[in-house]
Amino acid sequence: MTENLSILVWNEGVHEANNEPATMKEMYPEGIHGAIAEGLRVHLPEAYISTATLADPEHGLTEEALEATDVLLWWGHKAHAEVSDEVVDRVQRHVLGGMGLLVLHSGHFARIFTRLLGTTCSLKWRNEGERELVWTVKPSHPIAQGVPSPLVIPQQEMYGELFDIPDPDDLIFISSFEGGEVFRSGVTFTRGKGRIFYFSPGDQDYPVYHQAEIRQVLANAVRWAAQPEISRGQPAVSNHARGWYMQ
Amino acid sequence: MTENLSILVWNEGVHEANNEPATMKEMYPEGIHGAIAEGLRVHLPEAYISTATLADPEHGLTEEALEATDVLLWWGHKAHAEVSDEVVDRVQRHVLGGMGLLVLHSGHFARIFTRLLGTTCSLKWRNEGERELVWTVKPSHPIAQGVPSPLVIPQQEMYGELFDIPDPDDLIFISSFEGGEVFRSGVTFTRGKGRIFYFSPGDQDYPVYHQAEIRQVLANAVRWAAQPEISRGQPAVSNHARGWYMQ
Amino acid sequence: MTENLSILVWNEGVHEANNEPATMKEMYPEGIHGAIAEGLRVHLPEAYISTATLADPEHGLTEEALEATDVLLWWGHKAHAEVSDEVVDRVQRHVLGGMGLLVLHSGHFARIFTRLLGTTCSLKWRNEGERELVWTVKPSHPIAQGVPSPLVIPQQEMYGELFDIPDPDDLIFISSFEGGEVFRSGVTFTRGKGRIFYFSPGDQDYPVYHQAEIRQVLANAVRWAAQPEISRGQPAVSNHARGWYMQ
Amino acid sequence: MTENLSILVWNEGVHEANNEPATMKEMYPEGIHGAIAEGLRVHLPEAYISTATLADPEHGLTEEALEATDVLLWWGHKAHAEVSDEVVDRVQRHVLGGMGLLVLHSGHFARIFTRLLGTTCSLKWRNEGERELVWTVKPSHPIAQGVPSPLVIPQQEMYGELFDIPDPDDLIFISSFEGGEVFRSGVTFTRGKGRIFYFSPGDQDYPVYHQAEIRQVLANAVRWAAQPEISRGQPAVSNHARGWYMQ
């Protein structure tokens, strides 16, 4: 089922361009997007996996690129405001039309995420390298398959409630941090025909995307979000004569 | 609990200004907003109920007006595009901060509704005066209290699935029409701290807002959506030291 | 993914044994279970598909049979009370442990269904051969893939709201009938690690299970409900020392 | 709205009868039920609040008692198995008919709770007096009104995920414990016409029900679960002629 999937990993690429933090080049020599793509290749060897960044023409998110994409992954932090209106509109249209979308970590403030959810997506945070425990609360969900509970992340930025999102379709993971905060760290949404997954682990200061269990979650989520057989096209208003369905 | 509620009924007022359809003046001599307000006054005699329209300065939706409003009702059809960006932003901010919002009928395409939901909110439609049956599917919900199932509306515009909305928090009513279509006609959402109810009956061609059962639904919904004791203010991002909650 | 699936189609078999209605032998020469199994074989040619009935020893639902089953389909009507406590307990345990369960039509009153849902599962009904229209309201769900909206069933028993079930995880299909009633006809639930789908079309008086679109729905649902890789075993209480997850 | 509410606080009363733990008599001189009732009286001074225990005839849960009850609170731990089939059936019938039910702490294993939910309701636990932080994740819910986030409980038994419950209607509170576990500690369900709230704080070893914020939660929940105007009677199957609703 997954051999022909087309997956596009998007990263704003600003931390990489500035080598900020100073550990970036060593921790993520191919960029955060590179590490994510590498992890997906392990689990989805027959998929076509590419990357794009903010600096690419049209941020690498042209109509053609999105048409060819089954699942888009989104990592951003410093430069949400630099993503153009046109690209946000276009990505939204493709999600509503059936493209999968995985929003990662600080992407909670990405324009495409707040656009699709309608809320501030704000949260509490603290960056002190606390241990994060990711607990599975919906073990029957495809995204939880093969993921230990808890999934232990040695060091992460703390994200805490209140996470200002609409009630998710499915709440799969809840995280706790050493400081006692909790966070709905793995949640799904449907918008239009598209499936969306938000997953909070993955700060630029820690090598989270090299961790095997995190890669398992992302691969599961890509498989879950992909709908290669759906006809892309967002729902539209239409006028119908009585009994149109009998013809 | 309801004596001090402040309720604002908003209507674009374009059908009224144009007397279109020609039955408008007779059917709704005080406008659609006037009829809605009148119905609410029957059920909520001690509430403060006012109206506003698109033609008012800032559409009657100034910062001061919204600050003073517990629940805003929204009816629009012809002039969604004329609602200013500034007002849409402002209403969204107040909903996220805890103001209740009731979106009615063709308000499914109101900018504030698509903004809060993130989807197209498109649907199927046909205006042939078909009988609509509104069936209760969540009888324990406060909005369903005292409402017959089915609630029979002699003539209405048909709205049919697919209604492109996110999964609602609660699905309270499902309608069917003579032509066989169905519609999720009464649904709730939470966005930020605000409670939202969409209710589809209420076309300008039919005297729906004079019907006693419809008025019951709207009064129930106003009571449900109002949170007079909540401190208005949308959720915001914040940085916290470890153990901040112990101080 | 589906080649090794084991699917068990269960039918009480009482209508067949009594040839009641008199059309039964002609309409379902292999029984309702036989027709369902035949349809699944078209879509899942590499799955292992078997059938069982109430008259079999332990109703054909022995511990060994259930252990070997990925998805169980359940059709019953006349003889719900004859299903033994022991078998209901056993099926529940396997569902909570991860076995998929599809409950069909009059199975809404099956003991295993009311046991898992906790409600009466009652509904309105009328058997006059009305046309049923099955509308998709969650097009992104795997069970809706390739299913027309509406799916037109020429003749069916009417099932109408209030359908006394808990809020489903996902509402995929809503049906309407010529008489104007509506019904949540395709709904999912999770209980323990198991995935459950209820689908209402399928009365013994009409050849519903020969219809191609119905077979598509059931095959989709089997694929969705199957979790061949999950370790069967219902969740259990456990006592844990502090920090147990670090070992 | 609350002056006429009838509230029944049920406790098995076994810890009290055995003065086990030895702190029981001092911590809860009127029993756990007595302390709960006392807290409710502070918030609902005009309600009629009574208590009952396992040792009462029919456990104090006669048909007459339940008919007169708007909301039943349930605390049990040691003696779940001693609650009679007849009483479990009766309480279920009343909940489905519209009686509110609050299930507290170790009541997660109460027969009435597993009956209504259909799952094992199992969980992880550890009793070492850890600090519990109760975080609000749905601030718009009536049960969260006026409750600080986090609500700090100095010492509590740890309850941890996986909590084997169906997806709740609303997830209001998530707790964390010093040992790092998380728990969905405040969740609502609807079954039939009844509203159910489960709230996990409240172990017999700690004076949790004397804490002001806990009393606020319980009073909020009682108000939310009460439906004094609903006609008690669980949904039932019924046969209807075409167009019955037009008569």
Neighbours of chain D (3+ CB pairs under 8 A): A, B, C
Judge whether residue C247 has pLDDT over 90: no
Q: Above pLDDT 90, what percent of chain C?
A: 98
Neighbours of chain A (3+ CB pairs under 8 A): B, C, D
pTM beyond 0.90: the answer is yes
- At residue C4 the predicted structure's pLDDT band, cuts being 50, 70 and 90, is confident
Among all residues of chain C, which has the CA nearest to that of D117?
C118
Question: How close C84 comes to chain D (CA, Å)?
Answer: 18
Inter-residue contact B8 to B65 (CB < 8 Å): yes
Among all residues of chain C, which has the CA nearest to that of D116?
C118
Q: How many whole angstroms separate alpha carbon C213 and alpha carbon C210?
A: 9
Nearest to B116, CA basis, from B189, B67, B183: B189
Facing residue for B162 by CB, picked from C149, C170, C181: C149
Neighbours of chain B (3+ CB pairs under 8 A): A, C, D
Inter-chain residue contact A161 with D133, CB threshold 8 Å:
no
pLDDT score for C3 = 55
Nearest to B171, CA basis, from B143, B202, B193: B143
Facing residue for D190 by CB, picked from B140, B190, B192: B140
CB contacts, 8 Å: C182 with chain B: 133, 135, 174-176, 182
What is the token pair recorded at A137?
A: 């609360």
Chains A, B: CB contacts within 8 A come to: 104
Among all residues of chain D, which has the CA nearest to that of C164?
D192
pLDDT score for A3 = 55
Inter-chain residue contact C138 with A98, CB threshold 8 Å:
no
Which one-letter DSSP state was computed for residue A213?
Answer: H
pLDDT score for C211 = 98
Question: How close D185 comes to chain A (CA, Å)?
Answer: 12
Task: Output Rg (C-alpha) for chain A, integer angstroms.
Answer: 18
Facing residue for C119 by CB, picked from D122, D192, D238: D192
Inter-chain residue contact A135 with D184, CB threshold 8 Å:
no
Question: How close C149 comes to chain A (CA, Å)?
Answer: 8
Question: How close C150 comes to chain A (CA, Å)?
Answer: 7
What is the token pair recorded at D170?
A: 């609303």
Inter-chain residue contact D170 with A167, CB threshold 8 Å:
yes
Question: How close D3 comes to chain C (CA, Å)?
Answer: 30
pLDDT score for C181 = 98
Judge whether residue C223 has pLDDT over 90: yes
Facing residue for D118 by CB, picked from C117, C235, C239: C117
Question: How close D160 comes to chain C (CA, Å)?
Answer: 9
Question: How close A133 comes to chain B (CA, Å)?
Answer: 17
CB contacts, 8 Å: A96 with chain B: 119-120, 164
Facing residue for B174 by CB, picked from C136, C161, C167: C161
Question: How close C193 comes to chain A (CA, Å)?
Answer: 5
pLDDT score for A247 = 77
Q: What is the pLDDT along chain A (247 residues), one digit of tens a residue?
A: 445 899 999 999 999 999 999 999 999 999 999 999 999 999 999 999 999 999 999 999 999 999 999 999 999 999 999 999 999 999 999 999 999 999 999 999 999 999 999 999 999 999 999 999 999 999 999 999 999 999 999 999 999 999 999 999 999 999 999 999 999 999 999 999 999 999 999 999 999 999 999 999 999 999 999 999 999 999 999 999 999 999 7
What is the token pair recorded at C121?
A: 């599962």
Phi-psi region of C49 (alpha: psi -120 to 50; beta: other; left: phi over 0): beta
Question: How close B234 comes to chain D (CA, Å)?
Answer: 11
Judge whether residue B68 has pLDDT over 90: yes
Question: Which residues have CB under 8 Å from C241's CB, separation 6+?
Answer: D126
pLDDT score for A137 = 98
Q: Which of C96, C116, C140 to mutate to test the interface with A (most CBs of A within 10 A)?
A: C140
Q: What is the pLDDT of residues C73-107, one digit of tens each?
A: 999 999 999 999 999 999 999 999 999 999 999 99
Chains B, C: CB contacts within 8 A come to: 64
CB contacts, 8 Å: D162 with chain A: 135-137, 139, 149
Inter-residue contact C156 to C201 (CB < 8 Å): yes
Q: Which of A140, A167, A227, A234 to mutate to test the interface with C (most CBs of C within 10 A)?
A: A140
pLDDT score for B3 = 55
- What is the distance of C-alpha B124 from the center of its chain? 19
Facing residue for D140 by CB, picked from B133, B140, B193: B193
CB contacts, 8 Å: B181 with chain C: 133, 135, 176
Inter-chain residue contact B235 with A126, CB threshold 8 Å:
no
Average pLDDT, chain C: 97
CB contacts, 8 Å: C161 with chain B: 135-137, 149, 174
User: Which residues of chain D carry a pLDDT beneath 70?
Assistant: 1-3
Residue type, C89: D
HSE-CB for D123 with a 13 A CA cutoff: 22
Q: How many whole angstroms separate alpha carbon B151 and alpha carbon D154?
A: 51
Residue located via tokens 């609630």: B151
pLDDT score for D3 = 55
Q: Which of A119, A135, A153 to mutate to test the interface with D (most CBs of D within 10 A)?
A: A135
Question: How close B55 comes to chain D (CA, Å)?
Answer: 32
Facing residue for C122 by CB, picked from D116, D180, D237: D237
State how beta strands A182-191 and A194-199 pair: antiparallel
Facing residue for B133 by CB, picked from D139, D194, D245: D245
Interface of D with B (CB under 8 A): 1, 98, 133, 138-140, 145-146, 150, 152, 169-170, 190, 192-195, 227, 229-230, 235, 245-246
pLDDT score for D247 = 77
CB contacts, 8 Å: C194 with chain A: 140
CATH code for the domain defined by A6-117+185-241: 3.40.50.880
Average pLDDT, chain B: 97
H/E run at residue C177: strand C170-177
Average pLDDT over residues C142-171: 98
pLDDT score for D4 = 87
Inter-chain residue contact B115 with A118, CB threshold 8 Å:
yes
Inter-chain residue contact D241 with C192, CB threshold 8 Å:
no
pLDDT score for A4 = 87
Facing residue for B235 by CB, picked from A122, A128, A189: A122
H/E run at residue C1: none
How do the domains of chain A map onto residue ranges? Answer: 6-117+185-241
At residue A205, the 3 state secondary structure works out as coil
Question: How close C194 comes to chain A (CA, Å)?
Answer: 6
Nearest to C27, CA basis, from C155, C156, C210, C200: C210
